Amino acid sequence: MNIFHTKSDLKAYLDAHKTKNKQIGFVPTMGALHKGHLSLLEKCAQENDISVVSIFVNPTQFDNSDDLVKYPKTFEADVTLLEAANCDAIFAPSVQEIYPNNVAASPFDFEGLEHEMEGKFRQGHFNGVGTIVKTLFEIVQPHTAYFGQKDFQQLQIVKKMVQIQQLPVIIKGCKIHREKDGLAMSSRNSRLTDAHRKAAPVIFQILQEVKNKFKVDPVETIVKWVEKEFEKQPLLHLEYFTIADEKTLKNCEQKDPKIQYRAFIAVFAKEIRLIDNVRL
């Protein structure tokens, strides 16, 4: 496995493979890898000749400086995991390598997807995501890139960017990986206290109950029920819960049988922000 820190070194390595018509698969990450990331890599390795994983904690997508500073960084452990999981190349650039002039996001228009859910609570977050994902696509020039569905809004936004800007890459969304107790795997889970970690699986339990209720109850009733359930949780603070159209991410007010809906949630466990979603 090769580890590259500069665009030019990675490009030289990939160019040699591209001239031999090798398929390049790409998994962008911010490191602190878990089984969810490894499942993306597994799919990537199955479907491509060369698998590239980037590890870069992108400063421009953090709306909270404390979250950026405390974001888990486990580079050595990540390298060991990737080595064992058929990764061919790691791209781990410095902030200077990615943002040589100005550490700032560019503005993006994702046709309104960016104004829903996360976009309402994380100012500028999706401009940061668009900026880094586009930059990484330009550097790696993968045939296919793999994203987890835990960040479902991010997945839809990346697909939209690729469509609007006609970027030559196929985007694949991969299913959410969960701990045995249902908690969606996330790099941030390692920052939970024992008590918050014990409380957190209720997020998925509530989402599962929402899935049942959605068959019979109106959306308004379900939203009220979720809010009440979180009032019973002293260690968890509900930031938002919404049922939305998978494609437009717009709130569902009246159920339409022609539309595929998903339930989305963001919860604070102390200062750790956890998100999750289920298809309804």
- Where would I find the beta strands (DSSP E) of 110-256? 144-148, 170-174, 236-245
Q: Which of 32, 81, 85, 132 binds ligand PAF (CB under 6 A)?
A: 132
CB 53 within 8 A of CB 27: yes
Point out the residues that are catalytic.
37
Tell me: does residue 30 bind ligand PAF (CB under 6 A).
Answer: yes
Instruction: Using only the alpha carbons of the chain, give its radius of gyration.
Output: 19
Long-range contacts, 243-247 (Cβ 8 Å, 24+)? 243/210, 243/214, 243/219, 243/280, 244/116, 244/117, 246/152, 246/156, 246/279, 247/156
Applying CB under 6 A, which of residues 7, 14, 29, 252 lies at the interface with ligand PAF?
Answer: 29
- How far apart CA 196 and CA 49 sit, in angstroms, is 41
Pick between residue 133 and residue 265 the one whose CB is nearest to ligand PAF. Answer: 133
Q: How many residues bind ligand PAF (CB under 6 A)?
A: 10
CB of 205 vs ligand PAF, minimal distance in Å: 24
Nearer to ligand PAF, 133 or 249 (CB): 133
Pick 90 or 129: Cβ nearer ligand PAF: 129
Q: Whose structure tokens read 């970027």?
A: 167
Q: Which is nearer to ligand PAF, 188 or 213 (CB)?
A: 188
The stretch among 14-22, 26-34, 228-236, 260-268 that binds ligand PAF (CB under 6 A) is 26-34
Contact between 276 and ligand PAF (CB under 6 A)?
no
- In the shown chain, the binding pattern of residues 134 to 163 toward ligand PAF, with x for contact by CB under 6 A and - for none, equals -----------------x--x---------
Is the torsion defined by CA of 53, 139, 147, 99 positive or negative? positive
Q: Are strands 144-148 and 24-29 parallel, antiparallel or unpaired?
A: parallel
Binding mask 46-85 for ligand PAF (x = CB under 6 A): ------------x--x------------------------
User: Which tokens hold the place of 123?
Assistant: 């100012």
Residue 129 lies near ligand PAF (rule: CB under 6 A): yes
3-class secondary structure, 89: strand
Residue 275 beta carbon to ligand PAF: minimum distance, rounded to whole angstroms:
11
CA 17 – CA 28 distance, rounded (Å): 19
Cα end-to-end span (Å), the chain: 40
Interacting residues with ligand PAF (CB under 6 A): 28-30, 58, 61, 129, 132-133, 151, 154
